[in-house]
A and B are shown apart, each in its own frame.
Chain A
């Protein structure tokens, strides 16, 4: 179990011949991920570590049987790559690329949803079901198979959180990075719905940050419909308004998107919030043990 990715996931890496694409393909294969093909237009017929490279996504799906795509294509071409993947019939698209124009993403998310595919990212470390498969760039060794789902808007912050969970003995069912951009393919709620149905998942850690209202919406959903314990952390309590804190989506604008509002929304809906990142593992252990 776990959600979205497991032993049956067959990955195609879009942009496999690039530096990042090749490096992370090797890391994924080393973890046991079944990478069935790569796609780089113009390099069809080549091989990367024995993995066949195709020119088109439709070949990756029709010839090599890929059902999941992992994208390392530069920002100007990433939107095309995502739409190509969805159009070729890929079920899950994981877009690692950072720096895609927002208007491109608006067009892309609407198209992908119409195709019935799921998009993770962009600007995400990806998704991992520990012990089974990883589709992304996260350091695998910090993870441990277990019963905690992790959903996060960040990259390294998620590694920090996962590392703490593993150290206190809490393994993970699936860890997902939503992506640090203002427009991303899926929300906390989309994945919480999946974790709700997943028998392997006993509790969920959500990691949010300033900007937007995704955490507030999640808080409401959790209280109304979610049946498993949740622990949250929100980054950016000291972030000044109006400044973009690294992630394109991490900005307090027009008085909206403050960490304190997110924390109080979560708390008022009965969700435990770890205020100090250093305490996240211990807090999670406490909450998940008691429930």
Chain B
């Protein structure tokens, strides 16, 4: 789960990580009022959406007067913000963070990720702040430093020194003390809130010698939300695609894509592979949909209804390999959905595995109009033919 910058900064404050003073605003007038209550000019007007690359899309603006604050706020709120991560139609901005502008001396990158290869959290530090860390890693790996964190000891002070003494030029020693404290607090936040990523880009050294988190990004481990109830409430439904939001209410793994073949599959790996064969057959999948290993009749019916409510879908492929999930349950679910919503689109079904005969019989005995594919390849060919 992702949260907004202002929410991440609230958490930073709780953990004693310095951030600029800031206030939230929903209208240009509120933006001006917020700025009046903050040190400045200058002020910074920041769009609050989850997608990255906000600066590149004009979603982060510096304002030297209250008029400029108002204009920046108005512009950001009136048009969808297009960034490299939003897709071409952009994302509507509903809230702004207004912050004091700081005099910056140097910019750094500081982040914590789960390093799958090291099987531990890892802190990443770089003196190339403000740039995308992936880009820096690719072009200037010598500027990126990584410290694996032993989960029983936590982040150790020597690791902060490892980072600090690698910097060229070496900053004033006061920065070591401040940044070391920030690093260990950031790890405390990461570990105690079950984060999958925290990122400060940039972490700045101001001209007055303070170390401040100018930006803040936090992603949470979805698997841990059951024990992070407060953070789970920070979820912003406006950030989700409408159908994806609906699917998540039904506990379905659904991701909307750009094609027109609706696909329903059991199991994440098979669902991905099904998307791939659809593409290889010359068509484009409209979605990723994993009904889960142990889906019920109800889940299957809901899944089919989600696919049917996507107006771009021109044909449907159901690919089920029954394991824990039985093919008869799938078949009953499909029949149930068909009773509640009319299925007018071509439906291709490929069933295999546990109780496959019973499943096929249930479908055959229903009044449903559908075609049966004998294997995955044939299924993909048949469904692609419907849209070619």
Contact = CB atoms under 8 A, between A and B. Distances in A.
B311 interface: no
A110 B151 CA distance: 10
A165 interface: no
A235 B273 contact: yes
Contact of B223 (A75, A139, A235, A243): A75
Given A156-B266, A278-B376, A101 B273 contact: no
Interface in A134-167: 137-139, 142, 152-160, 163
A20 B292 CA distance: 14
B151 A210 contact: no
Contacts of B279: 237-238
Interface in B111-146: 114, 116-117, 119-121, 133-134, 137-138
Interface in A236-269: 236-240, 242-250, 254-255, 259
B281 to A, nearest CB: 9
Given A103-B194, A159-B321, A238-B276, A154 B116 contact: no
A233 B224 CA distance: 31
A247 B273 contact: no
A183 interface: yes
A182 B117 CA distance: 9
B259 to A, nearest CB: 9
B285 A238 contact: yes
B270 interface: yes
Nearest to A279: B377
Nearest to A163: B352
B323 A138 contact: yes
A213 interface: yes
Contact of A137 (B114, B323, B377): B323
A76 interface: yes
Contact of B268 (A103, A106, A180, A259): A180
Interface string B261-302: 000011111111111111110000100101001100000000
A132 to B, nearest CB: 20
B151 A106 contact: yes
Given A75-B226, A155-B293, A246-B268, A160 B273 contact: yes
A278 B267 CA distance: 16
Given A76-B226, A213-B117, A103 B191 contact: yes
A140 B324 CA distance: 11
B376 A245 contact: no
Contacts of A180: 268-269
Given A102-B224, A180-B269, A278 B377 contact: yes
B196 interface: yes
A277 B134 contact: no
A157 B319 CA distance: 11
Interface in B70-100: 85
A2 interface: no
Contact of B275 (A100, A160, A238, A242): A238
Contacts of A110: 119, 151
Question: Which interface class (under 10, 10 to 19, 20 to 34, 35 or more) fits A?
Answer: 35 or more
B68 to A, nearest CB: 33
A116 to B, nearest CB: 17
A278 B272 contact: no
The SS class assigned to the A binding surface is loop
B221 A207 contact: no
B223 A159 contact: no
B380 interface: yes
A139 B272 contact: no
A275 B280 contact: yes
B353 interface: yes
B255 interface: yes
A248 to B, nearest CB: 6
A21 interface: no
Given A103-B224, A139-B353, A153 B269 contact: yes
Nearest to A207: B269
A6 interface: no
B222 A244 contact: yes
B255 A240 contact: yes
B253 interface: yes
Nearest to A142: B353
Contact of A20 (B224, B294, B322): B294
Contact of B151 (A98, A107, A244): A107
Interface of B: 85, 114, 116-117, 119-121, 133-134, 137-138, 151-152, 191, 194, 196, 221-224, 226-227, 253, 255, 257, 265-280, 285, 288, 290, 293-294, 321-324, 352-354, 375-378, 380
Given A106-B120, A182-B116, A278-B377, 7 more contacts: A101-B227, A103-B224, A104-B224, A125-B323, A236-B272, A255-B134, A278-B376
10 contacts: A103-B151, A103-B224, A137-B293, A154-B267, A154-B268, A160-B376, A183-B116, A212-B116, A250-B268, A278-B375
> Ordered nearest first, which 9 A-B pairs have the shortest CB separation?
A246-B268, A154-B269, A156-B267, A278-B377, A157-B269, A101-B224, A235-B272, A156-B270, A246-B290
